[in-house]
Amino acid sequence: MASSRKSSLADTVAARLAPLLPRHSQILIGLSGGMDSVVLLHMLHTLAPRFDWQLSALHVHHGISPNADAWADFCSGLCMRLNIPLHIERVDISRLQADHGIEAAARKLRHAAFARQKSDFVALAHHADDQAETLLLQLLRGAGIRGVAAMPVLSKVEGPVLSKVEGPVLSKVEGSLLKPTPAPATLRPLLDIPRSALTEYARQHGLHWVEDESNADDYYPRNFLRHRLLPLLERRFPAYRDTLARSAQHFAEAGELLDELALQDMQGSGDAVALDVARLRALPHARAKNLLRYFLHRQYASMPHAAQLDDMLHQLCDAREDAAICVEFGRWQLRRYQGKVYVTDVRDPFDPNLVMTWNGEAELRWSALNRVIGFSHVQGKGISYAKLQHGPVTLRLRSGSESLRPSAAAATRSLKNLLQEHHVPPWQRERLPLLYCGDELVCVVGVAIHADYQAEPGEAGVLVSLD
């Protein structure tokens, strides 16, 4: 009988995951060392042979607690005993803490760390109590529909893969933000299970874990809810977890409908990375806000407060046409240029003397944009490969007075005029890579290739792009 009780919770989780996870899936488990994640690790380790899952674990070392090293050592020992590969990633929370607060900064760093690992799924130990606590916290913060929507058991994208956690970076010269590579799908196998059931599972299986001393500190809002408010709520409303979960699901469905409306409103209003101001002006105020909010979300930007969103909409739609609109919110900027809306991250300073040499590599990382420049060999288009052999090939930034003839029938154009003609927003121009052969400007990456260097039909060429 005891064996049946021990296996029931694992069997429930197995039944939930079997239709979601293919056999041989690679599952990365977020392992803090606390009770919830230790239970998840143990449970998936028990189930993995049944489904041929390949498990690994990640422990993010925030360095906040004086016990952080001991927690990492505990996770190492636990994974060693279970023969599960563990990666420990140390992160610096200080850069984000001022802008986001300690809890949000730690969460952003964890998500970025998970996303950088190779896996099909990232398994997190969120449970029913977490779902209820999150909903209440978001309501108390005045969050919108997206903020109070339910966490799903399986979500395709938890967040973008970023080489820096501050945000995505620019790609195409038309003013777009390059979409970061999507993160692995996020899995929450314990989402419908209350914390009490996990505690019982841990007791039955004799599991050990570490206790984060900050979990007892009521200064943190989540701890205040957990230790003071929710016990009172449970005495009066014993089923509050289920009812709050239903409400969160209703919010999620409402959010999907609002997203569908925003997609309809976005049709014909520009591309995925630039939004027509005229479209915002044509919509009723509430729908315009919904569209702008959806646009910001699509660019992976943090969501502004309600008053900030109203101010953004007012400036975008009502400021005079030649006004240089730039609204800062957190580490982001909202800009208007030639009737379109753009979102950019506030980037770190870059070296204006940056020069890189290309020696035939398939890609080079361009630090001014923190992106990869890709080089692919093609036939009959791009830059003539033969002509690139006439001198050293380098990548540089603008220094002034550059010019280029974009086609045989065109006159030589100054780089300034060329960028204006291609509607490259001013804030991007100083960071674009320029490709030189010797001392001659051959290509403004993503904008134009010098007519004298363009590959002839059938000739071996090189396409250069920001990936």
Q: Domains (ranges, CATH) in the chain?
A: 2-238 (3.40.50.620), 267-345 (1.20.59.20), 355-466 (no CATH)
What pLDDT does 166 receive?
34
What pLDDT does 270 receive?
58
- Three-class SS of 216-271: HCCCCHHHHHHHHHHHHHHHHCCCHHHHHHHHHHHHHHHHHHHHHHHHHHHCCCCC
What pLDDT does 284 receive?
95
CB–CB of 360/427 below 8 Å?
no
What pLDDT does 114 receive?
82
Residue type, 130: D
What pLDDT does 428 receive?
80
What pLDDT does 358 receive?
94
Percent of the chain whose pLDDT exceeds 70: 88
Stretches where the chain sits below pLDDT 70 are 1-7, 93-105, 156-183, 269-272, 347-348, 467
CB–CB of 298/262 below 8 Å?
no
- Three-class SS of the chain: CHHHHHHHHHHHHHHHHCCCCCCCCEEEEECCCCHHHHHHHHHHHHHHHHHCCEEEEEEEECCCCCCHHHHHHHHHHHHHHHCCCEEEEECCCHHHHHHHCHHHHHHHHHHHHHHHCCCCEEECCCCHHHHHHHHHHHHHCCCCHHHHCCCCCEECCCCECCCCCCCCCECCCCCCECCCCECCEEECCCCCCCHHHHHHHHHHCCCCCCCCHHHHCCCCHHHHHHHHHHHHHHHHCCCHHHHHHHHHHHHHHHHHHHHHHHHHHHCCCCCCCCEEHHHHHHCCHHHHHHHHHHHHHHCCCCCCCHHHHHHHHHHHHHCCCCCCCEEEECCEEEEEECCEEEEEECCCCCCCCCEEEECCCCEEEECCCCEEEEEEEEECCCEECCHHHHCCEEEECCCCCCEECCCCCCCCEEHHHHHHHCCCCHHHHCCCCEEEECCEEEEECCCEECHHHECCCCCEEEEEEEC
What pLDDT does 4 receive?
46
What pLDDT does 50 receive?
94
CB atoms within 10 A of CB 233: 15
Backbone φ and ψ of 167, nearest 5°:
155, 175
What pLDDT does 41 receive?
97
CB atoms within 10 A of CB 170: 24
Cα separation, 382 vs 443, in Å, equals 10
What pLDDT does 303 receive?
87
CB–CB of 314/304 below 8 Å?
no
What pLDDT does 272 receive?
64
What pLDDT does 118 receive?
84
What pLDDT does 127 receive?
95
What pLDDT does 218 receive?
87
